[in-house]
Structure 1
Amino acid sequence: MSNTGLLISKVFWPAFFYPKTLIAVFAALVVLTLFLSVRLIRTKKRISRMKNALNIRENALEAMPDGYYMWMYDDVGFLEKTFCSRRLAVMLGLTGGFESSFETLAERLTPQSAEELSNALRKMRNEGTPFSVEAENSSETAEFLISGFRQTTDNDRPLLDIIWVRDVTEHEKKYRKLNAECAEQKKRRAFFEAAIDALPFPVWMRNEDLQIVFCNPAYARAVNAASPEQAVLNAGEPVYEKSPREARILAAAARASGKEHKSEEFAVIDGKRKRIEVSEIPLPSENDAFRNRTIGFIRDVTAEQELKEKLQNHIASHNGVLEHLKTAIAVFNMDTRLQFYNTAFLRLWDLEENWLDGSPTYSAFLDLLREKRRLPENRDFRAYKNQELRYFSTLVAAKEDIMHLPSGMTLRRMLTPHPLGGLLITYEDVTGHLSMERSMTVLSETQCMLINQMREGILVFGSDGRLKLANKAYMNLWHFSPQDYKKSAPSVTDVIESQKIFFENDADWASLKEQLLGVVSSHTGEFFQILRPDGKTIEFNAVALPDGGIFVSFFDVTEEERNSAMLTEKDKLLSRYKQTALQADELRSSFVKALKTEISTPLNTLSETAAALSAEKIKGLSKEQKNALHALKNTASNLKTLLDDMTDLALLETGSSVLELDSLSVPELIKAAANSVREKAKLCGISLKTQCPNVIEPLIADKKRLKQVLYYLLNDALDAGYKGGTLLLKAKKTEENGEKKLCICVCASGLDLNDRPKEAELSFGFAAGLIRNLVEMHGGRLEISDENGVKESRIFLPLR
């Protein structure tokens, strides 16, 4: 052991265990521990902050749209590891992700791009120079910009190599598009410059100070400059006669107003005095490059002015001619203002001359005509006026229409585009012409319709000998086709020749044809007959027309000729039959009258004797004898009535009886008819009733004959009834097919079902025929019905 060790062991070591020494050592240890703890905490916080900053940088790198690939080296300078970003793996479709190798990356590029990238990377590692290359993926669907650089230490030791890959596909597309547009703009600029330089008239552009900054060669020649550049440099202006400052004043006015300004001047151009039209046009102010700039040009109007003067002279002479025409004429210019009108126009519309001389617009002209009711009626006048005004801009060819005015006048209007712009309008009164044309059309159509409805076959030839009309009857008669004359308008010879088919077996066709042509040519109107081989007989004649044409008719009289003999024979037989019937009627009438005369005398005697015997003054007659006398009296009366009926029926059938018509009151007629059988109804025990409204108008009829009809019908109903039955006589108004009629009805109820005919008819002899004849002579009809024990007889008479 050395002396130092002995010293420590003997001096310090024992002193270390002293209490104060231990306290001091412990305190030093505590202070040292606290110091080290604070330093450790600060170090951890710094490490945490560095980790957070590193994470933020990594996230920022991952969020960038560019991908990257890194080669990291160790402290010696050897490659430690590689790293591929997630964005790059997605861009190139690298399945290895972060661990993808550079060779895999190169395979995702085209061979040429991979080779350029490898060469640039090799040069960067050897020389340390950054690079930037363009590359395409292997499918050539995307383009990339690859940039690389090397990070080294202060002593040039490599730390890392990194390449940045940016997808520039869209940028390249936009770049190429912009290049194409730029090239196109250059072409357009060159084209417009060449076009402006080729213009034969001066063109220039002024800046905001009204100085010439551009001009074409024509302008340079106008100001006697060697070139356009020389003209701009010299600020040359055309020499105007009015004032040299006139050109700039015109440009300033155009720029101030924002629209084109024109001025006609006399100027010396190319050493000649010419009349020119100077125009200054302000360029659009939306573009800052053109703001406060104007473009101008000069147009030589010397020849045009001379033509205008000639045209004015021509128009003046033309207007002088139009002034004397009877047709109303007006000329409206392109601004729709009245430029010319003649006297006929003034008289037609009855307008004030001073107003027309004020060049009113076409719109004002239409409004004034509407106020005076000189225009056709229109529901929508605004639409009508707009359509009229559109003619000034849309009409390219003449247009004709008809105007029907409220006054009844009809005008033919012609709208024609004027060569100098605007419209030339003519009005012609065609009221009379249209009326005549309408009448002629109606007359022609009527004549054609009448001719087509005629039974005769009709042909009409014009003054040129051509067929103009053939009706249906002719076509059917001669088997003539409508197309035969509608297409070719055949001549008279052709039409006659078409009839040959009916005479093919006739050896004399040539002779017949000559005869037909002779009749048509002579057109005397005489009738001739043609006997065709098919058995038809045709009447044929020709008549001259006032217009030089020929009217030819063919009428088939075959049936008339054939039936003529039969009709004559029938007329003879009918005459014989009529004479025989007349004699028979006369004999029957004479017989009936003689019979009535012979029988009526004994019947009267018998009736009077029976009446005298049944009188109360003769006593001693039994009840049976009285009944027999009463029956004898009734039988004589019935026989007398029967003879009267037979006489009346005979007169009716021979037509010798005539009705004595008069105005009858229907209620009185019904009452009188009921009173004539009221006693008989009481004896038969039958109730008799009447129904008749008082509002029925009077009836025009024969009172005696009509009362006779009702008497027979009532007696028939009483004879068919039994005690306790009802007989109703009624009258009412009715209507049939729009005609007013009177219906008189005799209705019997409670009939004797065992003692009456089965058929619903009058129950007594030929009186039924007499009743029906009397009713029919009054223009009426009789109806009888019998159903379920009720018999009705109805008479229908017309109310006049």
Structure 2
Amino acid sequence: MTDPPVRTGNEADRKRIAALEAQVAKLSRINAALIGRVERATDLHGTAFSLFETAIALEGRVRDRTAELEGAMDTLATTNAALAMARDEADKARRRLADAIDSIDEGFAIFDSDDRLVLANQTYVSLWPEAADIIRPGAHFSEIISTLARQRVPLAALAAPDAWVSDRLARHRIADGGQAIALSDGRWVQVNERRTSDGGIVAIYTDITDVKAAEARDRARVLAERAAVLQATLDAMPHGVALFDAGKKLTAWNGPLLTMLKLADRGPTAADRVASHSAFTAWSRLVLPGVADVGALDWLAPGSAESVHVAALADGRSLEVHRQPMPGGGMVMRLDDVTQARAAAAAIAQRKSDLEALVAERTAALEQARNQAITANSSKTRFLAAASHDLLQPLNAARLFVSALAGRRMADGNRLLVSQASSALDSIESLLEALLEISRLDAGAIQPEIRPVALAGLFNALTGEFALAAQRKGLTLHVTPTDAWTATDPRLLRRILQNFLSNAVRYTRAGSVTMTARHVADGVEIAVTDTGPGIAHADQALIFEEFRRLTTRSEAEEKGIERGMGLGLAIVQRAARMLDLKVDLTSAPDAGATFAVTVPATIPQAREPDTDNMRGSAGVGRATVLVIDNEPAILAGMSAMLAGWGCHVLTAPDGAAALAAARRRPIDLLLADYHLADGVTGDAVVERVRDACARRIPAAIITADRTPELKDSLTAEGLAILTKPVKPAQLRALMGRLLA
């Protein structure tokens, strides 16, 4: 072990001893000066007494100074003794420190702020026998590692000693962690360096050769295990696999590969025949003729794309070769006998072709059936339109005649008969409308038109429609105001709610009917609740079927409720299905019922005037009305009803008669049937009359055709529309609006 420089006590002791020595020297000089003065002094008067007195005084002062000097000397002696003890303790501590450092198994070294060696133990020196001559106090760190680099002690210094010195100096200056250094003789040294408070560096050097050897053994074991797993995986693969390293040497293979290469029965050294890529290719030419000749086994350079090649062998087999370059160089090759797979693929392709032909044949048949269905559906739609017209024409005429009779004075008995006839017509009209509506829904003749709808306007219209019916039965109709908006078809939604309210009013004997709207997670739930007899759970699914009525005629009369036709909820179900809406029913016997439909919510839109609810009757009783219809009964009925309202009525069965009537008298209003004779339409006749009169006469088209396309077409022409059978109140309101 090298010894550090010896230091004499601490700084305070040295300063104190120096002060005492200076004071003793000063007192000695004063004493010498006083004695000399006594010896030289003379009495001014030459008397011996003066000299005696002076000697006495000087003696006292010398004695005092001598006492002070003796005290200072005692203090100095004490201090010197303490200093000697401190020096002894320091020596002992230094020896103990040196012994402790020497007893450490790791190498230990301290460098000062100038990077010069202050202290190092023997273990540190033994780690670097090549630099033992220069490892002494005062040696610079760079000098030590430069010597090690020149001696090629570190493994990294064998190739680039200067680079290793530069890197080691950089890490040494940082001195904030550990570094493992591999030595050229196979040893490993772990270096841990830390800065001291005065800017120096403390370093501990540990020989970790055994640890590294253990790690190497562990890595070798892991690699061996991985190699075993890899080999087991390769052997489990059904296809042959060959792995070549960057030097084109065969490093891994499996049993199926040896079988394909006909080497499986040639012993453990069979793979030596294909130990390199060139040998592999040469042997494959012998046992797999045709594969190597087409380049399927060629070497792939790093960065090349994966290659897949199918080669036909001379014996009729097909061999698929996959080649893929390895990231670090080398190549992996996979050989797969795809003879059966290709045969199966060919069979599948043939089967696919057969199926495609069959599908094409079936598709053609289905297309033909579809076209027939479309034709049938179109025919059904045309039939429905014709049936609607033919069925509603006589009904419309009967309605007009009954309305005309109701406006005349007659005996009470006759008025009762007219009322009963009107009620019977109402029932027939409701039944026909329901049947036709179901038919149109089933035939797809009604297509929804989704648009924003304000529920407030719809609720107001339904309130006006059912308030009188509820009042007549003594029921209270509650319609909760709402500002909710939905996105749906307003006609179909209104039809759903009309059926809810109609059933609620019909089957409720006493109490109330309530309609509400509230926001829920799925949108807006519109509910109609009544205090009627309720519906048993077992019957709740049945009431949505056509013509399903839960009460007999006698039960209805006994309970004092009306008996419906059993079509309203069937219409509700079809309309809701068309709009993709959810309909719910909550009910129990004697507990009333709640029918609800949930519609999608949307943001409020700018409101438009509700022209459908604008009503007026100004000028109806003074108007000249030209009625155009090819049915004499309709003309007679309209004439009777309009004349009862005070109108001057002109009638025409076709366009020519309409033009002739318009020339005889100025016309205030045109009412034309849409379907006239010989394919002529009412809107065309209205246009001819307007042209002949050279003015735009107010006009309305009366039709049994309720298709959206016709409505849009007539609306675009600026014509009002009224559907058959005509309700007198609706006709009078429409005439009032047109004549206003």
**What TM-score, normalized by structure 2, do the two folds share?**
0.40
User: Which structure dedicates a bigger proportion of its chain to strand?
Assistant: 1
Q: Which structure has more RCO (C-alpha within 8 Å, separation ≥ 6)?
A: 2
Larger Rg computed on CA atoms: 1
**What TM-score, normalized by structure 1, do the two folds share?**
0.37
